[in-house]
Chain A
Amino acid sequence: MRGQVEGSVYMGLGEALMEEQEFRRLPKKLSHALVHKFPSILEYKSPTSLDMPEVTTELIEAPDPRGPFGAKEVGQGPLLPIMPAVANAVYDAVGVRIDEIPVTPEKIMKALAE
């Protein structure tokens, strides 16, 4: 369970801070095709072991009578609050609201400049 929670925190941080499936048009003289901006692991940024913060996992148990031995979902839910928690923390830290995911340094700098 802890692995699912921490894995969700990890994946959520990736979404919150850097991961983007973005597209761009090739120049007209080429094919003008709409291609992936980052179709490689090198360019598609995702967190490495250096980026992962320490996480304190607290499990509050509320066994569900409908689940086997009270079990219920843990693999997806813990990812969801990570992105807004990061955006809210950024506001607490520097006073600008980033209304877009991912919350990149460029967006924060731009918001601070405005």
Chain B
Amino acid sequence: MTPVGARKANGDELRVIGVPRRRVDARAKVTGQTRFADDIFLPRMAHSKLLRSPHPHARIRKIDTSRAAAHPGVYLVLQALCVDRVRHVGDPVAAVIAREELTAFEALDLIDVEYEILTTISSSEEALRTPEPRIHEYGEEGNIHKLVALEFGNVEEGFAEADEIFEDTFFFQGNTHLAIEQHAAVAIKDPDGKLTIWSSTQTPHYLHRALAKVLEMPAAHIRVIATPNGGGFGGKSDPFNHEIVVAKAALMLDRPVKICLTREEVFYCHRGRHPVLMKFKTGVKKDGAITGMHLQTLIDGGAYGSYGVASTFYAGALQTTTYHIPRYRYQGCRTFTNKPPCGPKRGHGTPQPRFGQEVQLDKIAERLKMDPADLRLRIAESSNALTANFFRLGTVNLAECIRRVVKVSGWKEKFRKFPEGRGVGLACSAYLTGAGLPIYWNKMPHSGVQLKFDRSGGVSIFCGATEIGQGSDDVLAGIVAEVLGIDTFDVRLFTGDTDLGPVDLGSYSSRVTLMAGNAALQAAERGRAILRDAVAEKLEVPKERLRFAERRVFDSAAPEKGVTFQEAVCLAEARFGTIGTVGSYTPPLYKGGGVGPLRPIPIPPPLLKWK
């Protein structure tokens, strides 16, 4: 592994960022003290279990919960989770809340449900063939949830220019996150009558909004605390029925209510990788240059939308980010089927077409008698390029990545040279840092951070960002400590709590380091400016000369002249009053339109005939 070289910020050597050290949450994790949602035990706590549909598609004719409600130890039975219809095996129908988890589980058997079985749609192909019955009343038509059709440049012209045309069909089977922690949530009615819920969610802000809507209560009276997630990978991004159930039950019973899903339930909650059938048509010149690409996807979305609209766009978004593709057409189609809903999993929508694209490229290299690494090097896209579909690439170093992998792996000595049964393979990818738009469109920041500077010299960070194992707490602490010249141990974190911290949209889309990180950077720099003014006045040193390092604020021209960080906070507090700063981050809007033709095209192709 390459050692991270010494880097500089504002002329100073970095002391925290890029320097190997223990994560701020490491000690809690190796001592078992990290409190995950199911580790919360409260006095008088009741337990909840959900009755889930045994049918993939059925109308609910009648539910009788009287026997369950009369069962000893049962406090409450909630129904109408799925109001009139179940759409996949595992879709929740009713909930039992009882003194013991086992009692709740037993009482599920005492709920009588009468179903009217409806036609089951088990695949995307079937969904296209079977417009009725519709699994949902919304969507494009029949059982098509979302169609995307975009063309950037004239792809047919590109094919006409090509020396060779490659047409390949691929299938990517769905798979799931398998985070080891099962989803869990605990809700209480606060002593003052408001609601608090702890949940293993990656997106406390979206859960906050969903709870307010479903419970029909002001969001201001709901507090969502995202507990550290025992693995997320996208699977804990949707607001879930079980979260609504414990919240509702806690309000009704005025006692804490917990739920922890079984592993089998987690498999049926899913929201994982979509099965995708895809077809690539790519035109290339003899030298490997791509003249145009047409991608079609048929995406099996399962029974609900989840973030499926985004998934459908994502599946066609990133093809142009690695190699120069001057003309590009994408047609995506997400269908509803009677299976657990698919959703965001690490790479959200993009690994499937990336698989097809990179395997096809391998075939292209073979036909053109080129080394696959050389081909990729020849067509690699570079920094700051504007892609056909109007992505302005940021910093891209794909060519150097390929060269390094070729060198370190000994590619040239191995490719097509191993004996039968051994082989090497090469593939590339790129990914975006953060999504430009929130799930509900608005002009507010995507992430906010508040800092509180204490007279003790301690700094508290308040932010909605959610620790799912990726180290977001450590990123925030590291950035703040770096800017203020203190140690991460001097920092306290209050994260993932909608009452304590400003909104962060959640741990998805690789957005937290960029967005919460920039918000933390801004808040810390604002705090540093306040402290610097106070210290400059006290020391009678020009403020530009002051440096923050080693828990001190000192004159860079005469390092012995300075004050401790704690003294700096006290000086600032005496001078300006209580010290607190905020920072926020809103993604920039890139204006790239008008460069080329962009016209939506209908989805006609007989996708069914692919296989």
Cα of A59 to Cα of B340 in the assembled complex, Å: 38
B55 contacts the other chain (CB 8 A): yes
Render B420-441 as a binary contact track against A, CB cut-off 8 A, 1 for contact. Answer: 1111111111111110000000
Which residues in B have their C-beta under 8 angstroms from that of A32? Answer: 120
B170 contacts the other chain (CB 8 A): yes
A71 contacts the other chain (CB 8 A): yes
A56 contacts the other chain (CB 8 A): yes
Distance (whole angstroms) from the CB of B169 to the closest CB of chain A:
7
Q: Which of A36, A66, A87, A101 is within 8 Å of B514, CB to CB?
A: A66
Known: A15-B273, A75-B346, A88-B362. A59 touches B4 (CB 8 A): yes
Which residues in B have their C-beta under 8 angstroms from that of A73? Answer: 431-434, 510, 513-514
Stretch at the interface among B102-110, B222-230, B291-299, B348-356: B348-356
A66 and B423 contacting across the interface, CB-CB below 8 Å: no
Residue among A4, A67, A68, A88 with the highest chain B CB neighbour number at 10 A: A68
B401 and A41 contacting across the interface, CB-CB below 8 Å: no
Cα of A91 to Cα of B372 in the assembled complex, Å: 13
Interface SS, B side: loop
Query: Which residue on B lies nearest to A81, using beta carbons?
Result: B427
Distance (whole angstroms) from the CB of A68 to the closest CB of chain B:
4
B596 contacts the other chain (CB 8 A): no
B27 contacts the other chain (CB 8 A): no
Category for how many chain B residues contact A: 35 or more
B207 contacts the other chain (CB 8 A): no
B354 and A69 contacting across the interface, CB-CB below 8 Å: no
Known: A57-B1, A71-B517. A100 touches B172 (CB 8 A): yes
Query: Which residue on B lies nearest to A43, using beta carbons?
Result: B267
A69 and B17 contacting across the interface, CB-CB below 8 Å: yes
Q: B365-398: which residues lie under 8 A (CB-CB) from chain A?
A: 372, 383, 394-397
Render B244-285 as a binary contact track against A, CB cut-off 8 A, 1 for contact. Answer: 000000000000000000011001101011010000000000
Q: A36-54: which residues lie under 8 A (CB-CB) from chain B?
A: 36, 38-41, 44, 46
Distance (whole angstroms) from the CB of A104 to the closest CB of chain B:
10
Distance (whole angstroms) from the CB of A16 to the closest CB of chain B:
9
B418 and A92 contacting across the interface, CB-CB below 8 Å: yes
Known: A91-B362, A102-B173. A63 touches B351 (CB 8 A): no
Q: Which of B7, B273, B394, B514 is within 8 Å of A21, CB to CB?
A: B273
Category for how many chain A residues contact B: 35 or more
Residue among A19, A31, A77 with the highest chain B CB neighbour number at 10 A: A77
Cα of A12 to Cα of B394 in the assembled complex, Å: 25
B209 contacts the other chain (CB 8 A): no
Distance (whole angstroms) from the CB of B576 to the closest CB of chain A:
26
Cα of A66 to Cα of B430 in the assembled complex, Å: 17
Which residues in B have their C-beta under 8 angstroms from that of A21? Answer: 173-176, 267, 270, 272-273, 275, 340
B168 and A99 contacting across the interface, CB-CB below 8 Å: yes
Which residues in B have their C-beta under 8 angstroms from that of A57? Answer: 1
Which residues in B have their C-beta under 8 angstroms from that of A95? Answer: 420
Query: Which residue on A lies nearest to B176, using beta carbons?
Result: A21
Known: A72-B394, A80-B350. A85 touches B427 (CB 8 A): yes
Which residues in B have their C-beta under 8 angstroms from that of A91? Answer: 362, 423, 425
B500 contacts the other chain (CB 8 A): no
Which residues in A have their C-beta under 8 angstroms from that of B355? Answer: 83-84, 87, 101
Query: Which residue on A lies nearest to B278, using beta carbons?
Result: A99
Which residues in B have their C-beta under 8 angstroms from that of A11? Answer: 233, 346
Query: Which residue on A lies nearest to B514, using beta carbons?
Result: A67
Known: A4-B470, A70-B7. A62 touches B54 (CB 8 A): no
| Known interface pairs A80-B351, A84-B362, A101-B171; 4 further A-B residue pairs with C-beta atoms within 8 A, sorted by A's residue number | A36-B264, A58-B405, A71-B513, A99-B170
Give the A-binding residues of B (Cβ under 8 A).
1-2, 4-5, 7, 9, 14, 17-18, 54-56, 88-90, 120, 122, 168-176, 178, 233, 263-264, 267-268, 270, 272-273, 275, 338-340, 346-348, 350-352, 354-359, 362-363, 372, 383, 394-397, 400-401, 404-405, 408-409, 415-416, 418, 420-434, 470, 475, 479, 482, 510, 513-514, 517-518, 520-521, 588
